[in-house]
Amino acid sequence: MKQITCIGIGLGNPNTMTLAAKHAVESCDLLIGAARMLSAFSHVSGSTFVSCKTNEICDYIIQHPQFQNIGLLFSGDTGFYSGAKNFTRQFRQLQQAGEYRIEHICGVSSLSYFCAKLQIPWDDTAVISLHGRETPWLPAVRANQKTFLLTGGAWSAENICQALCAHQMENASVFVGSNLSYENESIVSGFAKSLATQTFPALSVVLIEHTAPQPKIVTHGLPDDSFIRGNVPMTKSEVRSIALSKLRLEPCDIVYDIGAGTGSVSVEIALQIPYGCVYAVEKAPKALALLEQNKTQLGADCMEIISGTAPGACTDLPAPSKVFIGGSSGNMKAILSLLLEKNPAVRIVITAISIETLTETITRCKELALPVLDITQACISKAKQMGRYHMMTGQNPVYIITAQRT
């Protein structure tokens, strides 16, 4: 049986390699990796192949059966945002067929190295990679005292600091590490506002300490006075809680809030789906201004505000998994048609105050073969103090309709 060893070689400096990794490299008759990695092992006998593309590596191994002990070099640790993951997944079929045996040798990751340099424990740190991927990271910073980021793409260290300043976290402590383990290693620290104007190498790592993280609220139902309202309609807390429970939100959902008003529903959704996105669709200029204010003050980072009237304003948006409709501007059938065209299995929750709106909603759902799963009427009364007594004051009844094709 042929041996393939995925070797974590640490941060690049040979001193960050484990003895197990060094012994594995020396025993291989073929080493595969990026040119900069292979250059560090020019003294080792055996053949080399320069590549970091999974498909290319797999094809080369299959086309060269003469090699019996193959080493694949990966920077850092094979289990920490490493290409070893994709390679192992793709080569698993040959491994199961008994032709190859795959082994992983762990290495020193940038996370463990950097935190050791800072003398900061990392067992309570949120870890996110922005290298070659789009991952929402601001919610993690808001919710955790420490967040570690692998930079990349549009998210350089300075852009991260600028985003922190734009989201009212300019006083967060930031540590930036560049060229870790090399002679020109650089570690810079300061408040986000002071580092936002500096420039750092493209592939840096960032550790953010947020001294006042927001608590991780796991239920919806923010008090109504949490929102800036003005004279714009708002879905009240109790009705909002029922509607959100009907949506059955998941962390990665794409959600539309049509007729967003003040954004009370959009904000609550955004706080529940840290890896998704909620599109708040609203046409009224006054409401649009309030949406922006409530988004900022409540930290709804994965909320995007869309100016316009549905369905037209939703045409170019990604297909939704869930939709809340608080106002249709008389376009209920056209809205439902577009939603079903984008995702036939979309889950839709609609609120209605009038019997006419309820009737129209049920009629339109029937016309579009969209099953109505549930209709709930919420009649909410809240206590109001009058002298020495508390009297219950009733709010307008609200119908909550849930529809989805099973």
Instruction: Spell out the CATH class of 2-108.
Output: alpha beta
pLDDT reading at 214 higher than 80: no
Per the prediction, the chain carries an average pLDDT of 91
pLDDT digits (tens, 9 = 90+) for 215-256: 666 777 788 788 887 777 788 889 999 999 999 999 899 999
Instruction: Spell out the CATH class of 224-403.
Output: alpha beta
- Average pLDDT rounded to a whole number, residues 352-361: 94
Reduced to 3 states (helix: H, G, I; strand: E, B; else coil), residue 194 is helix
Q: Which residue shows structure tokens 């080369």?
A: 60
pLDDT reading at 96 higher than 80: no
Beta bridge partners of 280: 257, 305
pLDDT at 97: 58
- Same topology, domains 2-108 and 224-403? Answer is no
Whether residue 30 contacts residue 50, with contact meaning beta carbons closer than 8 Å, is answered with: no
Distance, in Å, from the CA atom of 287 to the CA atom of 302, rounded to the nearest integer, reads: 19
pLDDT at 93: 65
Q: How confident is the model at residue 134 (pLDDT cuts 50, 70, 90)?
A: confident
pLDDT at 139: 85
Q: Which residue shows structure tokens 């580092």?
A: 195
Give the residue extent of every domain in the chain. 2-108, 111-209, 224-403
The CATH fold of domain 111-209: 3.30.950
Q: Please, what sign has the CA dihedral across residues 39, 44, 49, 55?
A: negative
Element holding 84 (H helix, E strand): helix 84-96
Q: Which residue shows structure tokens 């991927």?
A: 133
pLDDT at 215: 66
